[in-house]
Amino acid sequence: MKLLSNMTIKEYVALRKEEIKSLVAGLERKPCIAIVQVNEDAGSCAYVRGKLKDADELGIKADLIKLPLETTQEELLKVIDTLNQDDIHDGFIVQMPLPKGIDEEAIKLAVDPKKDVDGFHPLSSLVPCTPKGIINYLHFEKIPMQGKNAVVIGRSNIVGKPMAKLLLKENMNVTILHSKTTQEDMAFYIAHADVIVVAIGKAGFLDNRFTYKKDAVIVDVGISRTDDGLKGDALAGLPVGLQTPVPGGVGLATRLALYENLLEIYGVNK
């Protein structure tokens, strides 16, 4: 496929970051986000570090509220209530996953949709960050979508389902595949897909067992820690038109979308 930009996703993110940085520099008041972290897992710590680094680079104020692992749901709800009501933070996120014993859905519902930078609340007008980052990147690359076949592998509330909805909005023919899809059907849909978004957290799941359209676009959301380092859900170097790398791919676009959402809440669109 002839890509118009010839840019990697990392370069795209760097470019957009410069635009956002200039936009923020022109604002009278600095936008401010709070990041609530209750877990200690390596993945979440890496995500949070990345988010804090981005905020710093963009000129956005970010407060990390780190709570002990033993925090109860009731205690977390109190913190959320305070953040919902304060005049300091334009928005906030609660880093997922949460420790056992805390109901993630209850937490997502407790965040005031007006401050829900993640876009997880059903009444939020914002698009969740990972699908938003992906669709913005596909637009940037001018990937043809209308009438084309999209396959979303994974049906999570954070990625798979909202991603499928966004691709449908682009007039794509969307199929969601998941853990109960047969191997035969999986191979069939993948072979016919123009855009494949894979988000199942299984290192190297998409490999040379499958056949792909030569111009297919693979967007790899997975990131798994293996003995061989961080790996995506797709084996690197598949014979397709475009494949996003891991690490240094979708994760960067997700972090960018977080601040695009914050600026939407702030009242400046992009």
256 binds ligand GUN (CB under 6 A): no
Buried b / exposed e over 177-204, threshold 16 CB at 10 Å, is beeebeeeebeebbeebbbbbbbbebbb
Catalytic residue among 37, 54, 90, 95: 95
Closest approach of Cβ 134 to ligand GUN, in Å?
A: 12
Q: How many residues touch ligand GUN (CB under 6 A)?
A: 9
118 binds ligand GUN (CB under 6 A): yes
> Looking at beta carbons only, is 130 or 243 nearer to ligand GUN?
130
Closest approach of Cβ 123 to ligand GUN, in Å?
A: 17
244 binds ligand GUN (CB under 6 A): no
Asked if 85 is an active-site residue, the reply is no
> Which residue in the shown chain puts its C-beta closest to ligand GUN?
96
Asked if 118 is an active-site residue, the reply is yes
Residues belonging to the active site: 51, 95, 118
Q: Which residues bind ligand GUN (CB under 6 A)?
A: 47, 93-96, 118, 129-130, 254
